[in-house]
């Protein structure tokens, strides 16, 4: 999966490019204009071709996510949550409508440009962690920096260790993923998602494979990251966790049915 996320990376280096989030770019305008939304989805339609003809999975979805928001996406199994998330990360493409994330209109990007864009702007967190089993935890965290050629080679391990400290995993850094618990794997995966300092973190059921106490702590970590200025969109089945998010988007039958916002 990680190979898919970063495949065809051909870009050149640049710490500046890596840290230039959509939000920060907005601040370079002449006036202190209000920041544009980090995610802008307009009239999104997604159909899959099947043997029985096209099946519509997302119908006319429009939504905005502002920089610094913490959004939970909920809905029954098969309602289209993963499909929606995959449109935001550019892992899959719309059939119709527009998706703009961190100032980039994703519809327009070819595969190479998409991989390059994603590597720098989105940290993706998976239900089953997707750590490479033959690499140590710290090597897994260095990997996105290698793929995107962001931080200078000599600084990558130090940065990875710093990120692992942030998720309380520095003492596990030299173990293989197979030697640590599920919660610890997810912490490592979060550190990896932060490697290139993306403005946006996206998770598809990132606590779905964890016991409730561990899930709770991972959720707390997400809250901390939002407090540090990240924007977070996560799909979750866990009602209790969803209800703690400041904003909840409910997907049903490929449409947004309900939005709950708490001040
Ligand atoms: P959720 O994440 O909410 O469980 P998904 O977004 O994975 O739902 O799927 C929504 C619907 O789209 C489901 O009916 C699923 O079977 C269908 N679907 C997902 N991916 C494909 C695909 N590649 N081809 C055909 N149908 C798909
Ligand atoms: Mg899903």
Confidence of residue 3 (pLDDT cuts 50, 70, 90): very low
Centroid of ligand 2 to alpha carbon of 89 (angstroms): 14
* 50 CB within 6 A, ligand 1: yes
Say which residue, 12 or 44, is predicted with more confidence: 44
The tens digit of pLDDT for each residue in 17-43 reads 333 343 444 445 456 666 789 999 999
* CATH number attached to the domain at 2-20+66-93+109-261: 3.40.50.300
* 196 CB within 6 A, ligand 1: no
The Cα 130–Cα 139 span in angstroms is 13
* Residues 5 and 118: beta-carbon distance below 8 Å: yes
Confidence of residue 8 (pLDDT cuts 50, 70, 90): very low
The tens digit of pLDDT for each residue in 137-191 reads 999 999 999 999 999 999 999 999 999 999 999 999 999 999 999 999 999 999 9
The tens digit of pLDDT for each residue in 90-120 reads 999 999 999 999 999 998 899 999 998 999 9
pLDDT on residue 22: 38
Say which residue, 138 or 243, is predicted with more confidence: 138
Centroid of ligand 1 to alpha carbon of 82 (angstroms): 7
The Cα 262–Cα 21 span in angstroms is 26
Confidence of residue 2 (pLDDT cuts 50, 70, 90): very low
HSE at residue 123, side-chain half, CA atoms within 13 A, is: 30
The tens digit of pLDDT for each residue in 207-234 reads 999 999 999 999 999 999 999 999 999 9
pTM attached to this predicted model:
0.86
Q: Which residues surround ligand 2, an ion (CB under 5 A)?
A: 82
Separation in Å, CA 249 to CA 56, 85, 227, 242, 258: 20, 12, 20, 9, 6
101 by DSSP, 3-state: which? strand
Separation in Å, CA 77 to CA 80, 236, 238, 252, 254: 8, 11, 12, 9, 11
Backbone angles phi, psi at 38, to 5 degrees: -75, -35
* 96 CB within 6 A, ligand 1: no
The residue whose CA has the least distance to atom 12 of ligand 1 is 57
């Amino acid at each position: 999966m990680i190979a898919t996320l970063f495949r065809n990376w051909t870009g050149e280096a640049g710490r500046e490019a890596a840290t230039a989030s959509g939000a920060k770019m907005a601040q370079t305008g002449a006036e202190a204009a209000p920041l544009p939304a980090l995610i802008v989805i307009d009239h999104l339609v997604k159909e899959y071709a099947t043997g029985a003809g096209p099946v519509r999975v997302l119908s006319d979805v429009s939504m905005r996510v502002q920089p610094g928001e913490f959004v939970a996406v909920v809905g029954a199994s098969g309602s289209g949550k993963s499909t929606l998330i995959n449109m935001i990360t550019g892992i899959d493409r719309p059939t119709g409508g527009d998706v703009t994330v961190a100032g980039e209109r994703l519809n327009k990007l070819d595969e190479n440009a998409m991989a390059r864009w994603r590597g720098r702007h989105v940290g993706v967190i998976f239900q089953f962690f997707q750590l490479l089993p033959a690499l140590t935890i710290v090597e897994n965290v260095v990997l996105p920096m290698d793929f995107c050629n962001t931080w200078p080679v000599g600084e990558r391990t130090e940065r990875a260790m710093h990120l692992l400290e942030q998720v309380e995993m520095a003492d596990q850094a030299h173990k293989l993923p197979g030697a640590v618990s599920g919660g610890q794997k997810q912490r490592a995966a979060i550190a990896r998602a932060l490697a290139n300092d993306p403005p946006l973190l996206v998770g598809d059921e990132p606590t779905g494979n964890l016991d409730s106490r561990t899930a709770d702590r991972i959720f707390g970590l997400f809250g901390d990251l939002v407090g540090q200025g990240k924007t977070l969109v996560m799909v979750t089945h866990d009602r209790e966790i969803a209800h703690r998010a400041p904003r909840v988007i409910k997907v049903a039958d490929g449409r947004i049915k309900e939005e709950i916002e708490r001040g």
